[in-house]
Amino acid sequence: MTDSEADAKKYAFLLLSYRSRSEKELQERLEKKGFSVHHISGTLRQLKQAGLLDDYALALDLKRQAFNNKLLGYNSAKQFLLNRGVPNEIVNTALKYDEETEAQKIQKLIDKKLKTPGNYSEEKKKKRLWDFLVRKGYTFSTIRNALHNLIQLEEAEK
């Protein structure tokens, strides 16, 4: 067992230098390293007071990353934040379901996916696209609407 709060703080700074972490995630890493509960709680308190440990700011940053970079749907974005140790209350505050934003993101994904041709039947392409969008965390109704719009556009072009 490692024995001082200074060592715990030093290790916490090392972990935070790599990337932002949630309070839960940092606590688990310090416990895994063998620090006592007393040293861990003191270190976490000091980091929060210094503004270096902020779960809400982390949630907003991860939300931006999930929505803008990964183009995840609401469900997957929520799971992404929860997996990083952000508390459920903060996740619910940071994430708000917006149907229009979901539709824009899903359209970007569809456009991107349709650029890569495959030697598949039309039915197989739609099934693969549907499965891809489900894995990205979009709701069935959002996917159905987006694919319906896509079919209407294809028919209008013919």
SS3 22: coil
Q: Which two tokens stand for residue 97?
A: 């379901």
On whether both 106 and 148 belong to a single domain, the answer is: yes
Model pLDDT for residues 112-124, shown as the tens digit of each residue: 888 877 788 888 8
State how far the alpha carbon of 39 is from the alpha carbons of 5, 16, 67, 76, 109, in Å: 5, 17, 36, 35, 46
Q: Specify the higher pLDDT residue, 116 or 93.
A: 93
Model pLDDT for residues 113-155, shown as the tens digit of each residue: 888 777 888 888 889 999 999 999 999 999 999 989 888 887 7
On whether both 77 and 112 belong to a single domain, the answer is: no
pLDDT at 14: 96
On whether both 103 and 153 belong to a single domain, the answer is: yes
Domain of residue 35, residue span = 5-49
How many domains is the chain partitioned into structurally?
3
pTM of the model: 0.84
Model pLDDT for residues 69-85, shown as the tens digit of each residue: 999 999 999 999 999 99
Q: 88: pLDDT confidence band, cut at 50, 70 and 90? A: very high
